[in-house]
């Protein structure tokens, strides 16, 4: 591998041209001196060819040729590239100027991690909250216990050959392409620890601008899928309780009181301190609106 290996950037998009251009501008202004090319994958919308550019930071525009949704769009981009590394960025997020340089430096050390992540700054309606992990190495046990939201998909930086040939592409069968980032982190960490740069190098937009932030049915379906396909989560009492609590809240948000109560009971039996289950109960009873709970959490950079 050369001193300055090539980096490919995958940006899935759908009807957010202003935010997309902000993300592209941040890629163009990376301090990393090596070759960087970006593929913009339009998912369900016609490709905007005006985004294409040449030069030393080329941008290619393609349509999602795989299953509709975020996972299929990311995979379309991965397979369109032939770079040494591949990085993800959502179209409503953007990077600090040194992000790629820091990740390339970490990825090319002697231990050659297959995935390098970094911490984030959460932006909820203009309120900025750093989210850090408190570690520079993320294990499988970390990820059975928690999704580790600070290891956001917009901060993921993969060895492309390892991703395509060994780890496997982003799973397109997860309902609604929800929790696909957790799934790939678990699959990576089951092979080798994830190298993490515990500095907020990615600016992440949370809240109502997200297409999927409050799609409760698909969120719930994806959590059930995760429990079925990752039994190590169920085996971790704290991890299982967390997901049960998230399901309780999701069912409560849908008005499914009995189901919410059942999931809350499972969560509290696994971990009596599981706050998501406790919060779900007044939502299920109609005493608190789920949007109100999310707004409070998002203001401090947290989610359910």
108 and 188 in contact (C-beta within 8 Å)? no
Q: Pick from 98, 201, 110, 187: which is nearest to 144 by CA?
A: 187
What span, in angstroms and rounded, lies between the C-alpha atoms of 248 and 267? Answer: 8
DSSP per-residue codes, 73-123:
HHHHHHHH---SEEEE--TT-EE-TTHHHHHHHHHTSTT--SEEEEEEEEE
Q: Report pLDDT digits (tens) over 247-264.
A: 999 999 999 999 999 999
pLDDT of amino acid 208: 53
129 and 61 in contact (C-beta within 8 Å)? no
Structure tokens at 227: 């429990």
Coil/strand/helix, residue 41: strand
Q: Report pLDDT digits (tens) over 46-68.
A: 999 999 999 989 999 999 999 99
45-65 burial, b at 16+ Cβ within 10 Å, e below that, comes to: eebeeebeeeeebebbbeebe
**DSSP run (H or E) holding 130:** strand 127-131
Q: Sort residue 207 into left (φ over 0), alpha (ψ -120 to 50) or beta.
A: left
pTM for the structure as a whole:
0.94
From-to residues of CATH 3.90.550.10 in the chain: 7-205
Per-residue pLDDT of the chain (304 residues; tens, 9 = 90+): 678 999 999 999 998 999 999 999 999 999 999 999 999 999 999 999 999 999 989 999 999 999 999 999 999 999 999 999 999 999 999 999 999 999 999 999 999 999 999 999 999 989 999 999 999 999 999 999 999 999 999 999 999 999 999 999 999 999 998 999 999 999 999 999 999 999 999 999 986 545 444 589 999 999 999 999 999 999 999 999 999 999 999 999 999 999 999 999 999 999 999 999 999 999 999 999 999 999 899 888 888 9
What span, in angstroms and rounded, lies between the C-alpha atoms of 84 and 190? Answer: 22
Task: Report in angstroms the alpha-carbon separations of 47 from 26, 50, 110.
Answer: 20, 9, 40
Query: How many residues are recorded in the chain?
Result: 304
pLDDT of amino acid 2: 72
233 and 226 in contact (C-beta within 8 Å)? yes
Q: Pick from 300, 282, 254, 304: which is nearest to 121 by CA?
A: 300
Q: Could you say which architecture CATH assigns to the domain 7-205?
A: Alpha-Beta Complex (3.90)
Give the CB-side neighbour count of residue 261, counting CA atoms within 13 A: 6
Beta bridge partners of 122: 129, 204
For residue 25, give every residue at least 6 positions away whose Cβ sits within 8 Å of its Cβ, in sequence order, or none.
94
User: What's phi and psi for 57, nearest 5 deg?
Assistant: -130, 65
């Amino acid at each position: 591998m050369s001193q300055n290996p090539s980096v490919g950037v995958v940006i899935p998009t759908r009807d957010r041209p202003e935010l997309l251009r902000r993300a592209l501008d941040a890629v163009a202004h990376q301090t990393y001196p090596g070759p960087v090319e970006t593929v913009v994958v339009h998912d369900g919308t016609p490709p905007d060819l005006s985004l294409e550019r040449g030069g030393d930071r080329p941008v290619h525009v393609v349509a999602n040729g795989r299953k509709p949704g975020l996972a299929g769009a990311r995979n379309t981009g991965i397979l369109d590239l032939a770079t040494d590394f591949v990085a993800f960025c959502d179209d409503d997020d953007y990077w600090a100027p040194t992000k790629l340089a820091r990740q390339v430096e970490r990825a090319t050390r002697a231990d050659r991690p297959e995935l390098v992540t970094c911490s984030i700054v959460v932006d909820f309606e203009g309120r900025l909250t750093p989210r850090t992990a408190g570690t520079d190495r993320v294990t499988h046990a970390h990820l059975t216990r928690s999704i580790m939201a600070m290891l956001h998909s917009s901060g993921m930086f993969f060895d492309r050959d390892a991703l395509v040939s060994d780890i496997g592409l982003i799973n397109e069968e997860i309902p609604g392409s929800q929790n696909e980032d957790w799934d790939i982190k678990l699959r990576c960490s089951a092979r080798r620890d994830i190298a993490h740069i515990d500095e907020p190098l990615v600016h992440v937009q949370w809240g109502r601008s997200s297409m999927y932030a409050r799609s409760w049915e698909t969120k719930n379906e994806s959590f059930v899928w995760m429990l079925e396909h990752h039994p190590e989560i169920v085996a971790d009492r704290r991890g299982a309780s967390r997901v049960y609590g998230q399901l309780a809240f999701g069912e409560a948000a849908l008005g499914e009181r009995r189901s919410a109560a059942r999931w809350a009971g499972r969560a509290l039996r696994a971990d009596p301190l599981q706050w998501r289950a406790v919060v779900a109960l007044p939502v299920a009873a109609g005493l608190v609106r789920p949007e109100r709970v999310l707004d409070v959490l998002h203001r401090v950079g947290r989610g359910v």
